[in-house]
Structure 1
Amino acid sequence: MISDVTRSLDALNAYGQTQQSLQSTGTGLDTGSATQAPDAVSGFTDVLNNALTGAIATGKTAEAQTATGLSGKGSLTDIATSVEEAKLTLQTVTTVRDRVVQAYQDVMKMSI
């Protein structure tokens, strides 16, 4: 039960960060007409690309912190924090992947 609440809060935080990055770059998904659809697709692609790039960077940071810790030079707090961030990022990416696969399956089940 607690892990479900934690996952929901993590997803909510990730969504909020995505919205903030969209607003700061001026790439909104609020398309009002069919002529703006390519912008929405490229906006979604940019958001997904940035999220994956961030996930990879988080993993690399955790690896670097772990390597520093193994050499005896790192702070245990920094190592634990970076590893936990990488774990949460991996869980988020896995959840998004599962949702995308489920959405694809739902679309494929639709009758034409």
Structure 2
Amino acid sequence: MAIPVNAATNAYASAAKLLQQARPSALNQVAEAGQGDDFAKMLGQAVQGVVDSGKVADTKAMEMVNGRGDMVDVVTAISQTELAMDTMVTVRDRVISAYEEIMRMPI
């Protein structure tokens, strides 16, 4: 089963749109809570980095489809995107785990 290259482009565009929508509300709320400004910036930059690496991988894939790209560049870009995504998922899981542990602490 082949997935159209446009599906990947649409997925990255959707992720970028969600990031732009999340910044004004959720990330600003974290920043307004106190010392969270640096964390909110770091989180936004990390998500933007994943979106950017996805765009690079998509661009490399489109170049290869058009006959101007190199397979090694495509595989490298996809691997970097996969690593960035895995890192973000791991960080998310650790943050959720830390939050759950804090919620279990007795007051």
Q: TM-score, normalised by structure 2?
A: 0.65
Q: Count residues in correspondence.
A: 75
Matched residue, 1:55: 50
Structure 1 residue 99, shift from structure 2 partner: 0.4
- Does the alignment pair 1:109 with 2:104? yes
**Tell me, which stretches of 5 or more residues in structure 2 are unaligned?**
1-32
Counterpart amino acid of residue 98 in structure 2: A
User: Are positions 1:69 and 2:54 aligned together?
Assistant: no
Q: CA RMSD in A?
A: 1.4
Deviation digits for residues 15-46 of structure 1 (CA, Å, limit 9, x no counterpart): xxxxxxxxxxxxxxxxxxxxxx93x3101111
Partner residue, 2:79 = 84
Q: Paired residue for 1:46, among 22, 37, 41?
A: 41
**Aligned mates of 2:55, 2:104 — CA distance in 1:** 38
Give aligned-pair identity as a percent: 33
Cα deviation digits, residues 38-70 of structure 1 (max 9, x gap): 3x3101111111111111111111111112112
Give the structure 1 partner of residue 88 of structure 2.
93
